[in-house]
A = this chain, B = another copy of it.
């Protein structure tokens, strides 16, 4: 009936175990870590004592002397959540397989606070994984501590320390090629927020594809913020256009979904009147009606790869790294761009 956990008793330490087992703390440590030789009888006495006292080693103390925390930090942007859950999963999974824990921190908007946050990480993590498409290289350099191994994820390919990148450009070109192939003639773009690195790359690649596949054709650009509402707004604007584009490429799926909603509500058919494609291939994409053509980014894989790289850097900081292979996203064609065989009967 006492309800609350009994917690007053100070937790046992190596000393307690040593005393209980009648050995020195060194032997206890040796038993726990399997370092150095220990007589069978001693080992037994120690393990018994550990069990009896419910001893759990204090990781923090160990990391102080080992200069290794068994923890990696993950820095994420403060803003949208969608593809990050997968990222965290991929990273946490491989981290645990390597016996490491994961410390997650979002980079606050406030510059000073983010600095403090990152500084607080020192002495808690062995290295840093950082995904910050909303920061430019300068801000990034200012933010990251110099004595902490760091791997950048996402893009920022220009940054030195072999970042793990996504091939935005290649993916967009492929997607635009697909639209060209299905006969689209004017492909509008709903871009992500200004200053966002991924958004910038996708927009740039859209322009490049425009010039390559539809030379001389003008296509409208709408600026969004990666949220559904901004896609909806763009969709409404598109529906009202006198010369309406017959395809829309949105810089992420959420905005594509918003645009689709707007167009359908305006009485247009997708992809009959307007084809729509997104980016990221979040779970939502396949569940929309019509299902959304998108670019699948295996963020979990990206995370795994970045973490593997980080561990390399941690283990052997002196090695010079060769360029890392970019993660190649794959185009997933669905009904929203009139995939053959997929149901296109989504007229409202």
Contact = CB atoms under 8 A, between A and B. Distances in A.
- Complex copy number for this chain: 2
A71 B320 contact: no
Contacts of A108: 96
B102 A104 contact: yes
Interface stretch (A120-128, A178-186, A211-219): A120-128
Quick one: which of A88, A113, A287 has the most chain B CB within 10 A? A287
Contact of A161 (B5, B261, B284, B287): B5
Contact of A287 (B104, B106, B145, B257): B257
B7 A149 contact: yes
Interface string A96-110: 100101111110100
Contacts of A283: 228, 254, 284
A122 to B, nearest CB: 5
Contacts of A161: 3-5
Given A8-B318, A85-B81, A70 B102 contact: no
Contact of A121 (B4, B101, B348): B101
B63 A60 contact: yes
A203 interface: no
A38 interface: no
Nearest to A118: B56
A59 interface: yes
A147 B7 contact: yes
Contact of A64 (B3, B54, B56, B64): B64
A101 B92 contact: no
Interface string A1-30: 001111111010000000000000000000
28 contacts: A3-B320, A4-B317, A5-B146, A5-B160, A5-B161, A56-B119, A56-B122, A59-B120, A59-B122, A60-B64, A60-B69, A61-B64, A61-B123, A69-B124, A70-B120, A88-B104, A92-B105, A96-B117, A101-B120, A101-B121, A101-B124, A102-B103, A102-B104, A257-B287, A261-B287, A283-B284, A289-B289, A345-B348
Given A58-B123, A101-B124, 11 more contacts: A3-B161, A4-B321, A56-B122, A57-B122, A60-B63, A71-B124, A81-B89, A88-B104, A93-B106, A96-B106, A228-B287
- Nearest 10 CB-CB pairings of A with B: A59-B123, A58-B123, A60-B123, A85-B85, A81-B85, A11-B147, A56-B122, A3-B160, A104-B104, A284-B284
